[in-house]
Amino acid sequence: MKKHFLFMLGLALSVAACSNRRPISSGPYQALKCGLNPSIAQPSKFVFHKNNGSLYYFDLLTNSFKPITRRVEEALYFNSMEELFSRLKGNKLMIKQINYFDNNPQRKSIIKKTINLKSLVMYTVYQNRNGKPLKIKENCIWIDPKSS
């Protein structure tokens, strides 16, 4: 009885672990949640078109996916980004954020995120206030694009 319980528990845990390793699609859209350590920062969610890497969000009111740029134009701010670019390059989703400070193009921060879609690891590279480049490595999981 005890062996049967341990076997079933192990099977359930392995199924749960594997389900986060496979993409969950909603039409051409897939989504990832990265940065699963809440002591570092809030997790980031990325909904993207699996053919070109363009970023989207799911609008609950219209029950449809809309480009992130449309979200910014409609004044629903996404992490206070001013500019956002994304694309697929092989097995990697490449994201570049440009944040402007005080609406001054000379004062900006550039954050580059690279997500390996096979290993589910995201690397974030940016410069701190002293100009020193920093690199952060975070794990990701696949999530339902409509739940983001």
For residues 97 and 85, what is the distance between their CA atoms, to the nearest angstrom? 7
For residues 122 and 2, what is the distance between their CA atoms, to the nearest angstrom? 40
Give the pLDDT means over successive 10-residue stretches in the chain (148 positions). Answer: 45 42 92 82 90 95 86 45 85 90 70 96 86 90 90
- How many domains is the chain partitioned into structurally? 1
pTM of the model: 0.74
Name beta bridge partners: 25: 30
Look up the domain containing 12 and give its range: 2-147
